[in-house]
Chains A and B, each alone.
Chain A
């Protein structure tokens, strides 16, 4: 599934859009970074309520397809700057984390 299709489907607000098509192969939702590091798969789209720069560190480490900050939370300034620098697709949405995860699941994504 393409990231652009997901962004359109969930009506996500892009903070940093990918320069090319990105294939999303799974989904993950969690606010505990150590849990994400242990369980999320490469190529996953990750939905979270965290907004600090460490989420971009996690995304780079795991080679994630992108990050969605759910629940109407604004990312920290250095998070946005780092997402741009590292070319990590970053989106925000008013939709709650629960609903974002549900919508990703509906689109056919799984955590495994």
Chain B
């Protein structure tokens, strides 16, 4: 994919499809180690061990509309093309953890892209999801958490236009300074 945020959006859809009510996404750059790690942790239905061992194969999917599932395989290929790898841990009934590493400075590494729009899109379609987004550069971190916002909003749904607009601007602003990742 052209931007890493597109992978994040696609993988978030996996978590939602798996019935997750909570999703933690983290994008962390370690400039000393020259490494970028993108991780997603959800509390969805999870996958059985033998399924996890095969899920990087594009012909493994539980979709009924088609035989091919490219979300995880493309994320895996993106990491491998940048001297990294994708690790998957999952337990049925508990949830799934995906973590892809990339060499930060690798010439084939796609840019992170528009993460603010990605977050807004996830929330617009899933206003009840507890989403926590963290972006780190070395020891600096930006955190956006829908539950923290909800306590301040006092019952206003997150997918209302002005709220989404505010979230977009907040994430954009927060990820553009000390924790900026290109």
Contact status B77-A57, CB under 8 Å: no
Which residues in A have some Cβ–Cβ distance to B below 8 Å? 32-35, 37, 50, 52-54, 56-58, 60-61, 78, 82, 86
Given contacts A54-B73, A61-B70, 19 further A-B contacts (CB under 8 A): A32-B2, A33-B1, A33-B77, A34-B1, A37-B70, A52-B80, A54-B70, A54-B77, A56-B58, A57-B58, A57-B59, A57-B68, A57-B73, A58-B58, A60-B59, A60-B67, A61-B68, A78-B57, A82-B59
A52 and B2 in contact (CB under 8 A), knowing A37-B70, A82-B59? Answer: no
Q: How many A-B residue pairs have CB under 8 A?
A: 41
B interface size (C-beta, 8 A) = 14
Contact status A54-B58, CB under 8 Å: yes
Main secondary structure of the interface of B (DSSP, over half): loop
CB-CB under 8 A from B67, the residues of chain A are 60
Q: Which of B1, B2, B57, B66 contacts A53 (CB 8 A)?
A: B57
Which residues in B have some Cβ–Cβ distance to A below 8 Å? 1-2, 6, 57-59, 66-68, 70, 73-74, 77, 80
List 5 interface pairs A-B (beta carbons < 8 Å), by A numbering.
A53-B73, A54-B74, A57-B68, A60-B67, A61-B68
CB-CB under 8 A from A78, the residues of chain B are 57
